[in-house]
Structure 1
Amino acid sequence: MTFKELNLIEPLLKALQEKNYVEPTAIQKKAIPQVLAKRDILGSAQTGTGKTAAFALPILQLLHTDPSVEKGRVRIKSLIVTPTRELAIQIHENLEFYGKYTRLKHAVIFGGVKQGSQVSALNRGVDVLVATPGRLLDLINQGYIKLDQIKIFVLDEADRMLDMGFINDIKKLLKLLPAKRQSLFFSATMPDNIVGLANEILTDPIKIEVSPVSSAAETLQQKVYFTNKSTKKDLLFHILKDKKIDQVLLFSRTKHGADKITKNLKGAGIEAAAIHGNKAQNHRQKVLSQFKDGSIRVLVATDIAARGIDIDKLQYVINYDIPEDPETYVHRIGRSGRAGESGTAISLCEPEENGDVRAIENLIRQKINVEDNNPFPQTDKPMTAQEKKEHNKEKQRKKQAFFANRRNSR
């Protein structure tokens, strides 16, 4: 099947042809016709499946071919809400490219930067607005944005949205949207709280599910070092003694951990910087540029902040912390070894993460090569089942306290 067979209009096909996009992905094949038919969508899909084009292309077509959009002052007709700044920017860039031959206007708003240029863009008129929840509500409260003309609403990465504590913001937004609208809801996972939120948003939705990514590129070499928690730092320094490893995207589970790893690397004379949700947007953009041009050797990122980062010919990914979700591992390492290029994914595994490695191997249906040349081998024993239960309970308590404090400080 080609994009032309999906009945897309010529202005969109012309833009896609410039990028040599010919064959749609699975989610695009399923979603585009349903969105064009003005159905609500409940989509289960990860980042990296072509999800943005699956909703962006039909939204642009519906608005471009709607005669009422031309009449009077340009007002926001479609709202796309996503959890992170990087994702918002990425979606906006895609909209600009796909819609370059349409007459539609787009804008993106997010926190962490001054609002002046964003307000100016809104004042010039916007057909499609991409936004993160906090800045969106802020500008609504200031009177710069009205949502009463919204025809199409998109909630992207809903599970991440809830993980980041945005549930109350989303519920506030829903009250401001017209009852009569088309809604598109995308989430990588569908636990009960996500299903409940979807039920509040959608009317008689079409369910679209794309199988999660479960394999890495064949050109990607995967290896794991089994070590102790106390020796991870020393092992990382040992690995980075190899000067061939000149550009590394390193993943940390937490923002605090990312800052600590960065501090340790700098202390060892290694050019490094962290990128996560607590960093200002201008810092994040600057750091990303420095990493791309080679002035930073190691970019330390959390999973949420890394969404939207796309680096050509990245050869090395290091998992300083093994992710608890096996699919997250596949997405992390998939940032290397793209488009037939070679790549290497290195994982540092402490005893409590041994089970996570086994879960990853079950998902990808292959054994990860164990690195024998390891001066810091694993000697500690994992926690007992009871110790792990207590540990997880305490971790959950701290997480709930964090988000409660965050909500109360707003």
Structure 2
Amino acid sequence: MKSTFESFGLSEQIQRSIELLGYHQPTEVQSVLIESMIEGNDVVIQSQTGSGKTAAFAIPICDNIDFDQNIPQALIIAPTRELALQIKEDVFHIGRFKRVKVSVLFGKFPYEVQVKELKQKTHIVVGTPGRILDHIKRGTLDVSEIKYLIIDEADEMFKLGFLADMNQIIKKLPVKRQTVLLSATIPDQIQELISFAIRNPKFIKIDEESNVLDRITQYKLSVVEQAKLRVTREILMTEQPDSCMIFCNLKATVDDIFEYFSDMKFPIQRLHGGMEQNDRTQIIKGFKQGSFRFLVATDVAARGLDIDQVSLIINFDIPLEAEIYVHRIGRTGRFDQMGKAITFVTTNQGRFLRNIEDFTGVRMEMLQLPDKETLQNAHIDSARQIREKKIVKKVKGEQLNEGITALQIRAGKQSKIRPTDIVGAICSIEGLSAEDIGVINIGELFSEVEILNEKGDMVYQQLQELPIKGKLRKVIKMRK
């Protein structure tokens, strides 16, 4: 098993990306999966959350993408919209300097927008099964050149009833492809999917669950239902976590907690499946950036989301399945970070607690809350500190933006602008080459292009007087 990313013989562009993203040494799942994919094996990986699975398959895929090919070469299927968006972001970052184009497809989002994106050069498609299948049936997603199929969180696909859609998608794909299936568990139904989708797979079980749980101190607290909100407030005031996630079983409970703490002016937001997708996306982005400290959510946020520096998990409602518990608390204790998880247990919920403890092999400690006098003395200062303290989180990928300038060109499809027109104009500037040009997106009225290697200012200045497709175009900076 290789212990450095350099030992895989990756391209300079991919090596540069993973270094800037802070991948210093491969985790066990990254080491074995990257090597297996480079060797061309079909693979089934059984691994728990927090092990770096996305990078494990994204690195070899991005490294082998043929940039000149316009139709998708890799299809990554995820069970939820949030996870699909997370994977798309991670793949984009890893493939940034190879100019890998990644599209994401999921429901409750306009088809027309997705179709327009798919008509442009697209190397990798990430999405949920239902929307991917819809696009294939409509002829708007060309899967004839798919070389890589990744099935992520396969056990969750089964629980959400996606296996029939998965089977239909797989039937449409080229037989000659590399397939990787990742799952925390391998029940009989997933074994049937493996037999159908994968020929002679290499089975790999990563026993990292204990390592993840070792980084999380787990507590239980007996509490009556009516006291949960008060106890949650007391925990937040005494623990003073920089970042905390509160999990509930029902959307209505999420709304109640959000309104309770919003009235107290606590920096909190909510996340559940009844919200508009754009709102959910913005909330996840805000939580990652530290715009607010507390996020109350249903299990829509429990699987796969990579949110750094979450120090405390509160299970306001005990999960009814032990696997869900592991995924919830796996939002803390990520990689080399330590975390804490507190689970509320009400009357008649002892069997759920025992199932969780048997599944994890860990007996939770009983949490001791401070006495009333201590809480009263700390109440005013703690509440003020919660409201006023500002948290700044490191955002994954922000170091990649150093040296990159995004330019917007006021011309798009309606002006019959093509990526080659933009590349040709930029490469005519002395000292510029295609290696200095990043991802290009052509919209109806506007186009966007990333300029790499600290050359953005020079290109911006030159394009003020340099025609693109025979005309001067308005060019503005989007970010640096």
Query: Under a length normalisation based on structure 1, what TM-score does the superposition of the two structures give?
Result: 0.78
Higher-RCO chain (CA-CA 8 Å, sequence separation at least 6): 1
Q: Is the 8 A contact 2:150 2:181 kept in 1?
A: yes
Alignment partner of 1:29 out of 28, 31, 52: 31
Pairing 1:266-345 to 2, within 5 Å after superposition:
272-291=268-287, 296=292, 298-326=294-322, 328-336=324-332, 343-345=339-341
The residue aligned with 1:14 is: 16
Shift of 1:374: 8.3
Alignment partner of 1:161 out of 153, 157, 169: 157
Quick one: structure 1 residues 97 and 337, their matched pair in 2 at CA, closer, same or farther if it must change by over 3 Å? same
Residues 331-383 of structure 1: CA deviation (Å, up to 9, x unaligned): 4334335576665422111233323434444555554331344899xxxxxxx
Q: How many residues align?
A: 370
Distance 2:337 2:72 in 1: 41
Quick one: structure 1 residues 353 and 126, their matched pair in 2 at CA, closer, same or farther if it must change by over 3 Å? same
Quick one: structure 1 residues 181 and 354, their matched pair in 2 at CA, closer, same or farther if it must change by over 3 Å? same
Alignment partner of 1:47 out of 46, 49, 63: 49
Pairing 1:128–2:124 present: yes
Q: What 5-or-longer segments of structure 2 have no aligned partner?
A: 373-480
The residue aligned with 2:382 is: none
Shift of 1:36: 1.7
Quick one: structure 1 residues 55 and 220, their matched pair in 2 at CA, closer, same or farther if it must change by over 3 Å? closer
Q: What SS is found at the alignment partner of 1:200?
A: helix
Q: Is the 8 A contact 1:235 1:375 kept in 2?
A: no
Amino acid paired to 1:133: P
Q: What is the aligned-residue RMSD (CA, Å)?
A: 3.1
Pairing 1:58–2:60 present: yes
Residues 52-80 of structure 1: CA deviation (Å, up to 9, x unaligned): 1221112223334xxxx74xx51111111
The residue aligned with 1:140 is: 136
Amino acid paired to 1:252: C
Shift of 1:155: 1.0
Q: Is the 8 A contact 2:272 2:297 kept in 1?
A: yes
Amino acid paired to 2:143: L
Residues 380-406 of structure 1: CA deviation (Å, up to 9, x unaligned): xxxxxxxxxxxxxxxxxxxxxxxxxxx
Q: What SS is found at the alignment partner of 2:179?
A: strand
Alignment partner of 2:106 out of 101, 107, 110: 110
Amino acid paired to 1:175: K
Shift of 1:246: 6.7
Query: Does 234-243 or 274-283 show the bigger shift?
Result: 234-243
The residue aligned with 1:186 is: 182
Amino acid paired to 1:323: P
Amino acid paired to 1:345: A
Pairing 1:204–2:200 present: yes
Q: Is the 8 A contact 2:44 2:201 kept in 1?
A: yes
Residues 191-225 of structure 1: CA deviation (Å, up to 9, x unaligned): 11111111111011111111141255777554321
Shift of 1:249: 0.8
Shift of 1:300: 1.6
Amino acid paired to 1:78: A
The residue aligned with 1:258 is: 254
The residue aligned with 1:97 is: 93
Quick one: structure 1 residues 311 and 51, their matched pair in 2 at CA, closer, same or farther if it must change by over 3 Å? closer
The residue aligned with 1:88 is: 84
Q: What SS is found at the alignment partner of 2:344?
A: strand
Shift of 1:319: 0.7
